[in-house]
Amino acid sequence: SNVTGVLATEEELTSPGYWARHIRQAVRFHDGVRHLVGLGVTTFLEAGPDGVLAAMAQETLEAEGRDDAQALTLLRRDHPEAETLVKALGTLHSRGVRVDWEAFFEGTGARRVPLPTYAFQHERYWLQPTAPEDGGTGPDATGHPLLGTAVPVAGTGQTVFTSRLSRRTHGWIDDHTVLGTAVLPASALVEAAVRAADEVGAGHLESLTVHRPLVLPDHGTARLQTVVGAPDETGRRPFTVHVVADGTEPDRAAHAEGVLGTPTDPAPATVPDGLSDAGEAHLDEGLLPDSAAHGLHPALLERAVRGIAGEPPAGTIRVPAAWQGVRLHATGASVVRVRVAPADGDAVSVQLTDATGQPVLTVDRLAFEDLPEDRFAPADGAHQPLLHLRWTPLTTAAPGAPVRWAVLGASQTGLDAERYATLTDLGDAVAAGTAVDAVLAEPGPDRTGDAEDTMDVVGSTHRAALETLDLVQRWLADERLTDTRLVVLTRGGTAAVPQEPADPAAAAVWGLVRSAQAEAPERIVLVDAAADGAPSGELLNALLSSGEPQAALRDDTVLLPRLHRTGPQDPEARTAGHAPADAPTIGARGTVLVTGAGGALAAQITRHLVTAHGVTRLLLLDRRDEESWYDPKLPAHLRESGAEATVVQCDAADRDALAAVLAGVPEEHPPAAVVHLAGIVRNALLPTLTPDELTAVLRAQADAAWHLHDLTRDRDLSAFVLFSSHTGVIGGPGQANYAAAGAFLDGLAQHRAAHGLPATSVAWGLWDIDGDINADLDERDRNRFLREGFRQVTPDEGTRLLDAALRMDAPALVALPVEPAVMRANGLVPAVLSTLAGVVNRRGATAAGPADGGLAGRLAGLDAEERREAVLALVRTEVAAVLGHAEPGAVEADRAFQEMGFDSMTAVELRNRLGERAGVRLPATLAFDHPSPAALTAHLLELLTPEDAAGRPPALSALDTLEAALADGPADDPGREELVVRLQMLVSRLTAGADSQEDMTSRIEAASAEEIFAMIDTELDGIGDPTH
């Protein structure tokens, strides 16, 4: 208050007497600023036409010695308003004030981008010319923003209109969002259909029915395809409308369809009587330039219709779904008067007129439909990424060379092959000259039959996983087997055909080996046979010839796993939008048991269970005490929301303790649902993964899940929800134990489903939350995840996806936001993702040495220096990709990988990328054995051009070793200066004269590596001696 110099009260501000005093008495602005400073205010903002008050406030702040405080102004006289406004917002943001940047950038197409992954990255951002949209130019262009290009289909009478839509190019779509999702309004389809009728010579829009929302991607573009059919005997033409987000699979079902009337159909010229006035609708001023390209701008029609829709029931969105008798009478309107009249049923007739009362557009009948909110999930897979694993027959296997097989242990197969008791025996045989292309090993569970028939599922799982870990570690460490592929066989580890049970223990083996494949591409093949069958040699040979890394063998067919988006066309999984509206919620009628309740993820999920599913009783289990929870106040918050939350400190992996907890649940509120969130992370690359680390992760997730299943299988549960990991399906370097546990959960869900028990396992990607399983992730890890073509799941998206998964028939789903374009650009797409990414999975190089073609073939035509430049360019390109650099030029050839920020995970990624590009197999320690791009280039040249390296003097190889050692050392090494002096003196002696140079050259060429280092020490030990 400028009257009192302190905070004004509500009574003062609403009293006429106060404002009279304000006019008559002294202004106590100085006192007011000092009072606010005393309250801790450090930022003052003047919302006026100039900066007079801000200047006075700044003087007061300086007089008070408050250097940390600042007074700002939104506007300045004689300064551009936009400039001063943006400057003020930027200053506020830098001072920690929250600015709604989403609102600020709305409609501009701006988006968040990840920061550089390393310090001091400099990159130029040149403006790119706008690419013409479909239909923007060319002889077939319609000039209409929604129709784009018109392509008559020869011999059919059809015309296909194709255009591209995005929130960037069609900014008005942002005015039509549903729950934050951009949806193409039905008015746009009306406009497109009416103008399509003009293009093909049809009459009015006879009918249009919208079957499902036309949801647009948050990022990128979508294709709008309008297909107008041939005219029938009356001249009427059917049409359909499809919207497909880039990078997604086209849906066979149309989003909308309708009929265009006959060309001679008369159009009413006047507005009928009996209509009631429903107000006016205006087109935004910023859209006026676009109106000329439309008959009636969709944004204007959508606003007119929105005003007459009325309020829908809770949890639904009301949309104009069925249009009949639509006629456009005038074009270019920017303001329309809306008049409506009742039609049959709940439908209405709509008339839009201009300022003079003349008709602009008439609709004989318009009917609305109330759709569930979850029908409006985004279309690009970034926020509705529910995927399912589909097993498709191998059809492209070409006959390959005969495979020379070997079998480890007593595995029963149809192979006629030599058997070896141990891996050591096999390695000895290979070293002795025995040719082996592939070795089949079966480290699966030590039991047969259904898991329900064996109580020791937990023990069997641990033994199988530990045996597999030992096998794979020893296999990768044995250099004698580098040219041989390991084929890991399981039985019943996957539900490759509908209703097939899965063995959770064998599924755990699949998860572990999938991660091993991610770390060592093309070294391991994963095969699952039917639980009661033996794989035939013919099928195994076909699989190896195909180059596929994973398969299930059923009957006489090789089945390949591919992730697909869920949709209404999938018999295996119905989307939430096509599930019954009365799909059951989680445990609203009893007690819901939640494990891992003390984590950050549980805080999101339990709140959602209470608010969205009506859960009133929660049994929260965690092995930690409540004070150690991510949110110790969570139980209190849940109680405030109306739920009874009981907290029990219990390790769900302890079967006896869990049984005691379940026995204590009151009979009047029995267990109604289980939500298993418990889990831990112990990431390590497979060669260094310890049995203890594997056991610990399995215990927290797999053991607990089986005990929950075993102790509740006779209960009448409405849901049994398991939170799994995408690594169990795709694999992930450094996550073999976590992948094994996740695959076990997926297998358990399939096992339960096959026995008629409720089960939903969701293999999640990376959640965008702090704490829990993300606690050890740094920005480099997150950027690696993004670079692979994935995006994080936000908490709101995650709860929506959970609800969608619960409405589906599939027991195992994958919730993984994918960016197909990023995957394709990355180049290394796992076979299981190839369909989603839109790439054809082809077999890569399998030879240990250089291939006949590929990089080695390209190098063959170059001289030595050109070869070095080509390989160095490849190395720098792949290093830049791994580190997230925009340009390979940012990678210094002589800088050590360690200084660049490489760790074991990025080293494996670089090895995989270079192995794929160069067509050679490389060790996981590649970046550590050759610790700079220059040293790595020299090594690759030796592999790719062995004929050059064969005649190379040993001295030069010794110098390569010396160079690598120098690159690996710290730049501030105190001995570095002395080393430089000694090397300079060596060069001086080598170039002292032609005779001595020739002599020294011959000595170096004849010297061994040890002699070179001895020469350096002997010849230059007199540094600092003036006689030398």
Per-residue pLDDT of 541-584, as tens digits, reads 999 988 899 999 998 899 999 998 885 444 444 433 333 344 44
Confidence label for 728 from pLDDT (cuts 50, 70 and 90): very high
Q: Are residues 697 and 682 in contact, defined by beta-carbon separation less than 8 angstroms?
A: yes
Distance of CA 142 to the CA centre of its chain: 36
Please tell me the least confidently modeled range out of 362-366, 533-537, 932-936. Answer: 533-537
Distance, CA of 1003 to CA of 1001 (rounded, Å): 5
Distance, CA of 802 to CA of 549 (rounded, Å): 30
* pLDDT of 347 strictly over 50: yes
In Å, what is the CA distance from 99 to each residue of 87, 91, 94, 998? Answer: 12, 10, 10, 73
Distance, CA of 673 to CA of 289 (rounded, Å): 57
Residue 913: the pLDDT is: 84
Higher-confidence residue: 658 or 847?
Answer: 658
* pLDDT of 512 strictly over 80: yes
Q: What is the pLDDT of residues 894-904, one digit of tens each?
A: 888 888 878 77
Name the residues annotated as catalytic: 176, 354
Q: DSSP letter at 701?
A: I
Q: DSSP letter at 793?
A: B
Confidence label for 693 from pLDDT (cuts 50, 70 and 90): very high
* pLDDT of 221 strictly over 60: yes
Q: Cα angle vertex 703, ends 698, 707, to 5°?
A: 165
Confidence label for 219 from pLDDT (cuts 50, 70 and 90): low
Cα dihedral 431, 434, 439, 443, rounded to 10, equals -60
Q: Is the pTM of this model over 0.75?
A: no
Q: Are residues 261 and 204 in contact, defined by beta-carbon separation less than 8 angstroms?
A: yes
Q: CA nearest 549: which of 217, 198, 829? A: 829
Higher-confidence residue: 553 or 49?
Answer: 553
Q: What is the pLDDT of residues 175-192, one digit of tens each?
A: 666 766 678 888 889 999
Distance, CA of 236 to CA of 251 (rounded, Å): 26
- Kindly tell me the sign of the dihedral angle through the C-alpha atoms of 235, 240, 246, 249: negative
Question: Please, what are the domains in the chain?
Answer: 10-105 (3.90.25), 141-376 (3.10.129.110), 390-448+456-563 (3.40.50.11460), 591-837 (3.40.50.720), 860-966 (1.10.1200.10)
Tell me the one-letter amino acid at 77. R
Q: What is the pLDDT of residues 286-327, one digit of tens each?
A: 666 666 778 888 888 888 888 888 888 876 788 899 999 999
Q: Which residue has the tokens 């061994």?
A: 1008
* pLDDT of 460 strictly over 70: yes
Higher-confidence residue: 77 or 380?
Answer: 77
Which residues touch 143 (CB under 8 Å, ≥6 apart)?
135, 293
Residue spans of beta strands (DSSP E) within 802-939: 812-815
Q: Are residues 485 and 523 in contact, defined by beta-carbon separation less than 8 angstroms?
A: yes
Please tell me the least confidently modeled range out of 359-368, 759-768, 792-801. Answer: 792-801
Q: What is the enclosing helix (H) or strand (E) of 783?
A: helix 779-787
* pLDDT of 128 strictly over 70: no
Q: Give the helix, strand, coil percentages of the chain, each rounded to 5.
A: 40, 20, 40
Confidence label for 452 from pLDDT (cuts 50, 70 and 90): low
* pLDDT of 458 strictly over 80: yes
Most confident of 47-56, 68-77, 716-725: 716-725
- Whole-number average pLDDT of the chain: 81
Q: DSSP letter at 974?
A: T
Most confident of 414-428, 506-520, 771-785, 885-899: 506-520
Q: Which residues of 69-86 are buried (b: 16+ CB within 10 A; e: fewer)?
A: bbbbbbbbeeeeeeebbe
Residue 446: the pLDDT is: 62
Listed in sequence order, the DSSP H helices in 297-415 are 298-306
In Å, what is the CA distance from 331 to each residue of 336, 861, 989? Answer: 11, 65, 90
Residue 567: the pLDDT is: 57
Higher-confidence residue: 276 or 515?
Answer: 515
Tokens coding 505 = 């223990």
Residue 107: the pLDDT is: 72
Confidence label for 778 from pLDDT (cuts 50, 70 and 90): low
Pairing of strands 222-228, 237-245: antiparallel
Residue 1003: the pLDDT is: 63
* pLDDT of 475 strictly over 90: yes
Residue 556: the pLDDT is: 87
| Portion of the chain with pLDDT greater than 70, in percent | 78
